[in-house]
Amino acid sequence: MAKIDEDPKPTGELALQTLALPKDTNSNGDVFGGWLMAQMDLAGAIIAREVAKGRVTTVAVGSMAFLRPVPVGATVSCYCDILEIGRSSIKTRVEVWVKHYDRNSQQKVTEGEFVYVAIDDSGRTRPVNKPS
């Protein structure tokens, strides 16, 4: 359990890091939620592909809540944990943290569950070899 005076830290493996740019904004000038979700999907797919040792495709996204807006110029970091490995599926949890260029601390902005299925070169589902 974290001490009250400690800052919370991301959990999981850093899978993707990028910069929020002006082209990624909504009409309010903050980063568009759909862009953020796309970054999460990419991060989860990177981890799932490593587990599956090949191609994967997204089949489901769990609930998400946007905790705070993401400003232009923030460094966006996606951290992933594998939650479950099925016969052909991989369920991941993706947390997104941002670091503002003018601050040294990170803040969590959202998290969600993404499910991927391993596929072969023909796009058909294939089994995942579970790690020992």
CATH number for 58 = 3.10.129.10
User: Cα separation of 15 and 28, whole Å?
Assistant: 28
pLDDT at 111: 95
Structural domain boundaries enclosing 94: 13-118
What's the rounded mean pLDDT across residues 87-114? 93
Evaluate whether 79 touches 12 at the Cβ level (below 8 Å): yes
In which band, very low, low, confident or very high, does the pLDDT at 3 lie, cut at 50, 70 and 90? very low
Q: How many structural domains is the chain composed of?
A: 1
Joined together, the tokens standing for residue 26 give 């909504």
In which band, very low, low, confident or very high, does the pLDDT at 5 lie, cut at 50, 70 and 90? very low
User: Cα separation of 114 and 1, whole Å?
Assistant: 26
Evaluate whether 127 touches 87 at the Cβ level (below 8 Å): yes
pTM: 0.89
Residue 35 lies in a domain: yes
**30: pLDDT strictly greater than 80:** yes
- Of 61, 119, 120, the residue nearest 92 (C-alpha): 61
Residue 128 lies in a domain: no
* Percent of the chain predicted with pLDDT > 90: 81
Evaluate whether 17 touches 76 at the Cβ level (below 8 Å): yes
In which band, very low, low, confident or very high, does the pLDDT at 100 lie, cut at 50, 70 and 90? confident
User: Cα separation of 77 and 56, whole Å?
Assistant: 21
